[in-house]
Amino acid sequence: MANREINGEGQPPVLTVNNLKTHFFTDEGTVKAVDGASFSAPAGKTVGIVGESGCGKSVTALSILRIVQKPGRIVDGEIILRRADDAEPVDLAKLDAEGGAIRAIRGGEIALVFQEPMTSFSPHYTIGNQIVETIRLHQDVGKAEARNRTIELLRMVGIPRPERRIDEYPFELSGGLRQRVMIAMALSCNPKILIADEPTTALDVTTQAQILDLLREIQARTQMSVIIITHDMGVIAEMADDVIVMYLGRVVESGPVDEIFHRAKHPYTQALLRSIPSIFAAPRSKLPTIAGSIPHPHNRPAGCPFHPRCAERMMGKCDVHIPRLRPVSRRQMASCFLYHEPDEAPIT
């Protein structure tokens, strides 16, 4: 129900994540990096996933592409990719992470833009060689055609003099240009879904704005779905159609961006919004902060994961039961006992 409500257009979403659980099994114990996340990505829309560092946003993206490194693995849930209208949907969670099926989807139908592109490119090869290799891996084209396609991609993402830049190495480019090249590589095979993981974090404010404008322009041109992962509520306000708020591996609130920003329901979402600097704030006034910090992964609190930091917690309820994600309005969902009663027995 959550996914249909968020989509709101009667069309099946291109990607549906149901009860995804990705855990890391370490000598110290089990880390529940993603612990039952559910959301959907409508075709041609942007979904923003927001939350503090350590809430499971990036692991969710890695899980979708099946590139979670050991000792992590998906232990439960579905990741349903809907392809062409006449093709059967595929559950990515059930595919062999090293098999040919997911390798064809990875980079072909679903592309990922990493937070730091310098770690994504090999320093030993030119950017052109690396994009050409990606194109030829997923498409049956010759080297010359792939090179011409690469030059056009570099031009499309705003790289100056692409005929010359194509033969440069990653270290010869600025951070903003490397991020543009990373986007060009992600778009090289015309993906249905683009996942952008903190695409502007390491960039200056001017370059951030340029990258966000570029993503919007490309999405309008290609009608691909975008999942943008960030801790920056300003980026979410500017880019997202729908918003997923995560805390400690769980989705605590979801809904259209206007609903989230103007009528947030979950105390965590409200606290995130209060912490945004405002031009209307009194000079030298203190910025509101969220009390406490995210618990250690090996010491998760019982009950609602946010209750130790929540000003509205109800002892005997929030510290015992785990709230489920349930509707709080026609298109908005929240997992909070302010809006529904707990199940009869504690859930895990």
Domain edges within the chain? 118-190
Q: Mapping DSSP to helix (H, G, I), strand (E, B) and coil, where does residue 73 land?
A: strand
Name the DSSP class of 251: E
Which range scores top for mean pLDDT: 2-6, 196-200, 254-258, 285-289?
A: 254-258
Residues 56 and 37: beta-carbon distance below 8 Å: yes
C-alpha span between 302 and 313 (Å, rounded): 13
The per-residue pLDDT for 282 is 76
Residues 40 and 6: beta-carbon distance below 8 Å: yes
Report percent pLDDT > 90 for the chain: 61
Tokens at residue 282, please?
A: 């009194």
pLDDT in tens, 194-236: 999 988 877 788 888 888 888 898 898 888 999 999 988 889 9
- DSSP readout, 150-163? HHHHHHHTT-SSHH
The per-residue pLDDT for 45 is 95
Strands 110-113 and 333-334: unpaired
The per-residue pLDDT for 31 is 93
The pTM for the full model equals 0.89
pLDDT in tens, 81-95: 998 766 789 999 999
pLDDT in tens, 280-303: 777 877 878 888 888 888 888 999
Helix H or strand E encompassing 246: strand 242-247
3-state SS of 21-52 is EEEEEECCEEEEEEEEEEEEECCCCEEEEECC
